[in-house]
Structure formats: structure tokens, C-alpha cells
Amino acid sequence: MNVKRSPFQAPRELELSVAPRALDRDRTADVVVIGAGMAGLLTALELSDRGHDVVILERSAVVAGDTGATTAHLTTVLDTRYFALAAMHGAAAARSFATSHMRGIAHLERVSNAYGIDCDFRRVSGFLCATGDSQRVTLASELRAAKDAGISCELVKAAPLPLGDGPALHFPHQAELDPLGFLNGVVQELDRRGVRVHAPVTVQSLDSSVAAEQVTVSTSSGHKVRANFVVVATGTPMNDIVTLHTKQAPYRTYALAAEIPELIHALGWDLDEPYHYVRTGLDAVTQRPVLIVGGEDHKVGQEVDGSQRWQKLEAWLRDRFPQAGAVLSHWSGQVLETSDGAAFIGKNPGQERVYVVTGHSGNGVTYSAIAAELVSDAIDGIENPFQALYDPARKPASLDALGRFVRENLNVAEQYTDWLAPADAARVADIPRGEGAVLRRGLKRIAVYVDPAGFTHEMSASCPHLRGVVAWNSAEKSWDCPCHGSRFDCYGKLLTGPAVSDLERVSVAPMSKSKAG
């Protein structure tokens, strides 16, 4: 697949008029927000609206994480069907899920309008599409459940986006926007107010003991930030070692953008496994219409066919949209699927004055807006109607949710058998240039990358989080942990938590040059 870089290729970073500042001294604030993605920036803006003094800490760059990979479907149509949510949580909770996401979309619309942000926010229809008899049965069940949850929807013979060959559920009043344009406006407003983004800053730990009057945020540079409250909005929480990671699982999701003759202002999803989702938009460089297709998810670090996932997406695209032109770009992102289908937003279990936003399950943009209000209410001592619904301390409340919880944790336990598995290669010389492999050296597992020039880069294959063995991701040239989703670049530099440090270098000896390749 020949691709060129476009505005849709991740990682996508904002070109800010005011650059983030280094954290060059200790600071104090009312609230520290860790993470400058959609959730962190929206929460910081809401807190600032309410008069709080806010400081934002970002490990890499603004919107350099998975927010930059979002396809930005703003919808009440969740990855977990409403009939499943009702079965796990009850009918009243299903109505609250729907209401919260309606409010999330409205929050994004309000922010866009209030600050005059040019982000192409638009209300559109969404279509959940069926193929085959079994999917038609699923569609009928979802129609009843969605209506019971208070969502406006109807059964139609076909959708304007040809994702299936059968009927579809039509959901009016969904939305779409350009996420980078939106967040560029948010960052400009934050800067106007004097809310500072400090980057790059790696947070190492949080001291939130009951005896302490404030939370102390310690960073890798040695500087500390003390605050009354901390909001961890890093996608996967870096402050939680075990608890939340047992209740959610990391998946890679893939996307591509291809030329298309005209815009179709609608959102679409199918019922396949793995499933697919589509929308259209304008290429920011050419201003030509593009079709954005995503899906083909798999567990992080547990598949070796990443490049084939893009090929499958393109084949799926060509079959349903024969009018589509050249593929302009492709990328991937990471989503956290929870055992009961709902995000974790609120006070972090076991930590005082620390709040988390995680478990977005593929609906990160609307969940970010929900979190902005819910977390701000919690800090202000205001009762929020969705507090219990998204409480991070909750436990699986049904046999189905408990079953998912057990299966995912058995899967994690299975990954630790990689310490006993055979090596990917017998020796460094067997590794092609531009590729990596995990080798054995006695009892140790060594991650070895051979760069295009033939020089080797060796590091421990043990993930710093909970010591899972990382796996080589050939499609993205990264080391991925199959246990809890930490990712590192080919040289071992941290890309995605929950780890908070790089892979450990094996030695400081000069790198050798491999004959491989």
C-alpha cells in the first residue's frame, strides 16, 4: 500500500501559536491535569471556567497520543449495544448512558459555539447497518433497547453509507467535528486565560496520602507540582498499578483515509466481528473529500499481522465503496475496552483527591466531554447524575460483566508464559534490518532492534509496568506489552502507559553492526 502523509495520519500534533513550556521549577496549583489530549484539555477548560487555577502536564506533546488518532464519531451509539448494557446494568442505567452521551455531544457543541472554534462541528445522522439474518435479529433487539433508553431511532431499509446489504437503524442528532481544529481552539482559549501546558514532562508518581494536605506530583526532571486535586487523563492511568488495569483491556484499532468523489455527512457502523466504522471529511491540505474507515481491532501485542489489518480495511472499503480513490494515509490508535462496557470517570480507588478518566471503549471524544463535567462537579462538591454510573471503584454487576472480567484477566495471566516461550530468533544476525525480535540470554529476555543501517539496539524485554514480555510490532516498529498495553518505540522509548519509564538498556557498550539484511 503506497501512502502519503495527510492530516489524517497519526500521530497528529497541533501546530500551536504558543508552544508548551518546560517545567523548569517546582509549582503549585489548585488542580493539576495530567495529559493534554481531548479529556485533559476539556477538563482543564471546564475547571478554568469555574475559577480554578489549573496546570497541565504532558509527557510528549499536545494531542500527541490517541486523541490524534480519533475518527471523531460523536454519538450515542456505543460500542456495547444497549440491550447488553441494560442486561448488565439495568434499564435505568441504560437510559443514563444514553443521556450522558447526549450531554457529551451538547457539551462539545457548546464549547465550539462559545469560543467561536472553527472545527466543522455538524449534527449528522448515524446508521447501524446489518448484513445477514442473525444481524437483523441483533438490529431488532437494539432498536427496542435504544428506544427504551430514550434514544430517537428508527428502522430504515438501507443507509446512505453502504456498510451492509440489509436494513439499518437510523439515529438522528449525532455529530462530527475536526478534532484537531477543535482542540486548537481549546488550547488557544486556555492560553488566553493563562492556563499553562508544560511539556515534555514525565510524571513518575503521585503522593496523595491522607495525612498530606495536597497531592504532590513528582516528575522525572526532579521538579514537583503540588495541588489540591489531580486529574489523570492519560488514556490508560499511569498512577494505578493494578486495580483499574484488571477491569479494562487494551486494543489496537486501525484506520485509513481514501479519496472519495463527494462528502456524505453521516456516520456508519456495521455489526461484523471485528467491526468497521466510517465517516467522511475534508483533507485539510487539498480540501478534497475523503472517506475515513476504521476497525479490525485486536489485543495489543497479541497479533503480528498489523499491516494486514490495513490491507483488510482497504479490501473492505473497495468492496463497499467502489467509487473511492487512492488511499492517502493509514494509522492506528489504542482503545481500552472495559469489562462492563462503561468508562471509569471519577475518584481513583485508594487515592485521595485524585481523579481518573479512562476506559473510553471507542467513544473517547464524547466520554471526554462527559468527564469534563463529571470530574469538575466532583472537585466542586456538586452531585453529578452520572457519578455512580462511571465510578472507577465499581465491580462487575452481572454474570456477563463478571465473565468478561475473568476472561480478560485469564488472558493477561497467559501472557506471562512468554517468559518460558521460545525466542523469536536464535541470534542477532537472524533479525532483518529495520526489524526487531526478542532473544534469550540465559534467564533474560532481550528486545533487539536492528536499524536500517545494520546497527543493533538492545534493551530488556521486560515491561517496566508489571514485567510482561514485550512483543515486536512490525507494522508500527514498536515494542508492545501484551499484558496492559504499554508501548515503546523501536529504541525502547516510552510511547504509551501505564509504564512511566523506558525499556531498560541492556548495556552501555557501543552498538554492534549486524550483518542481517
Residue 300's pLDDT band (boundaries 50, 70, 90)?
confident
Residue 446: inside a domain: yes
What confidence tens digit (pLDDT) does each residue in 439-488 have? 988 878 899 999 998 899 999 999 988 888 899 998 889 999 988 888 99
Where is average pLDDT lowest: 28-32, 73-77, 244-248, 293-297?
244-248
Quote the pLDDT of residue 512: 53
Where is average pLDDT lowest: 73-82, 113-122, 417-426, 437-446?
417-426
Task: Calculate what percentage of the chain has a pLDDT beyond 90.
Answer: 52
Residue 467: inside a domain: yes
Residue 4's pLDDT band (boundaries 50, 70, 90)?
very low
Who's near 407: CB < 8 A, 6+ residues apart? none
Residue 500 has pLDDT above 70, yes or no: yes
Cell numbers 484537531 label which residue? 180
Domain total of the chain: 1
Task: Calculate what percentage of the chain has a pLDDT beyond 70.
Answer: 90
Residue 14's pLDDT band (boundaries 50, 70, 90)?
low
Quote the pLDDT of residue 407: 74
**189 or 305: which carries more pLDDT confidence?**
189
Report the pLDDT averaged over residues 264-279: 91
Quote the pLDDT of residue 493: 92
Residue 266's pLDDT band (boundaries 50, 70, 90)?
very high
Report the pLDDT averaged over residues 235-240: 80
What confidence tens digit (pLDDT) does each residue in 360-406 have? 988 899 999 999 999 999 999 999 999 999 999 998 777 776 767 67
Give the 3-state secondary structure of residue 152: coil
Residue 216: inside a domain: no
Domain of residue 443 covers: 421-496
Please check whether residue 177 is in contact with residue 112, taking contact to mean a CB–CB distance below 8 angstroms: yes
Where is average pLDDT lowest: 242-251, 266-275, 372-381?
242-251
Residue 2's pLDDT band (boundaries 50, 70, 90)?
very low
Quote the pLDDT of residue 314: 94
Residue 411 has pLDDT above 70, yes or no: no
Residue 443: inside a domain: yes
Distance between CA atoms of residues 326 and 257, nearest Å = 9
Report the pLDDT averaged over residues 196-221: 84
Sign of CA dihedral 6, 107, 127, 146: positive
Residue 440: inside a domain: yes
Residue 6's pLDDT band (boundaries 50, 70, 90)?
very low
Report the pLDDT averaged over residues 6-27: 64
Residue 469: inside a domain: yes
Residue 393: inside a domain: no
The helix, strand and coil proportions of the chain, stated in percent and rounded to the nearest 5, come to 25, 30, 45
Kindly report the CA angle at 259 between 253 and 61, in degrees rounded to 5?
Answer: 45
Quote the pLDDT of residue 125: 96
Residue 171 has pLDDT above 90, yes or no: yes
Quote the pLDDT of residue 416: 65
Residue 474: inside a domain: yes
Alpha helices, DSSP H, located in 298-394: 306-320, 364-380
Report the pLDDT averaged over residues 96-100: 97
Where is average pLDDT lowest: 53-62, 79-88, 226-235, 281-290?
281-290
Kindly report the CA angle at 34 between 32 and 40, in degrees rounded to 5?
Answer: 95
CATH classification of the domain holding 441: 2.102.10.10
Where is average pLDDT lowest: 40-49, 51-60, 130-139?
130-139
